[in-house]
Amino acid sequence: MKKIAIVASLVAIGFAVTAFVAPTSSEDTTFEGVVTYSMSVDNPQAAAMMQGSSVTMYIKGDMDKTCVDAGPSKQTYITNRSKTDSPIILIEIMGNKYQIKTDKTKKDEKDPVIKYTDETKQVAGYNCHKAEITVIDEQGQANTSNVYYTEDIKVSPSKNGQFKGLKGFPLEYSMKQQGMNISISATKVDKKPISDDTFAVPTGYKLMTKEEMMQDVQKNMSSGN
């Protein structure tokens, strides 16, 4: 049961990360390429399962694809930033593939509250400024996190996500999820052409709600599959 709980936490981390990698607002949309992030947590059991975990983001025009490799859980988020639609979410857990159904009844998200500071640092060779971002979660609780963003990476505006309205591109972020502190930091920014095929949605994934998927994962783990 403990292992099931850890895997559930890793899946939850992925859902949280998709908010992190949502691109930011800018009138100049010149960047095309790949941004690679490292990811770590302060939970020893989760950290052991997540050794070598990473987040890779492919960006071209209004499209981005984020791949989260978190040990036993591999997750892909495909987003069109010109639309308010939820991203396409694909998850692989121990050989099983799922596509998460979009919740059409979900209420509109409140815009995050962003407080800019004078603090700066270098991340992946880019000058970054610090901002404090407060969002309201599904339970109505306010959560404040720190982000370091650069104005030197310019992408098209995002119409939703945790970084909606941020005046730069996030390269480092820390947050709390499932009782764990998660740190995500860019290690490499690679400007290069990206094929349109990168954003094609693959087949072979079972369409389920997030709750149905977790029930299926628990069933498979309990039976040893």
The residue extents of the domains of the chain are 2-222
The dihedrals phi and psi of 88, each to the nearest 5 degrees, come to -75, 125
pTM above 0.85, yes or no: no
With a cut of 50, say whether residue 40 has pLDDT above it.
Answer: yes
What is d(CA 216, CA 222) in angstroms, rounded to the nearest whole number?
Answer: 10
pLDDT band at residue 43, thresholds of 50, 70 and 90?
confident
With a cut of 50, say whether residue 211 has pLDDT above it.
Answer: yes
What is d(CA 183, CA 173) in angstroms, rounded to the nearest whole number?
Answer: 6
pLDDT band at residue 24, thresholds of 50, 70 and 90?
very low
User: What is the DSSP secondary structure assignment for residue 148, as one 8-state letter?
Assistant: E
Which tops the pLDDT comparison, 81 or 215? 215
pLDDT band at residue 120, thresholds of 50, 70 and 90?
very high
Architecture of the domain whose range is 2-222: Clam (2.50)
Most confident of 17-21, 82-86, 183-187: 183-187
What is d(CA 43, CA 30) in angstroms, rounded to the nearest whole number?
Answer: 38
In tens, the pLDDT along 49-102 reads 777 788 899 999 888 899 988 777 888 999 887 777 778 999 998 788 999 987
pLDDT band at residue 119, thresholds of 50, 70 and 90?
very high
Which tops the pLDDT comparison, 97 or 165? 97
What is d(CA 211, CA 27) in angstroms, rounded to the nearest whole number?
Answer: 38
What is d(CA 200, CA 81) in angstroms, rounded to the nearest whole number?
Answer: 15
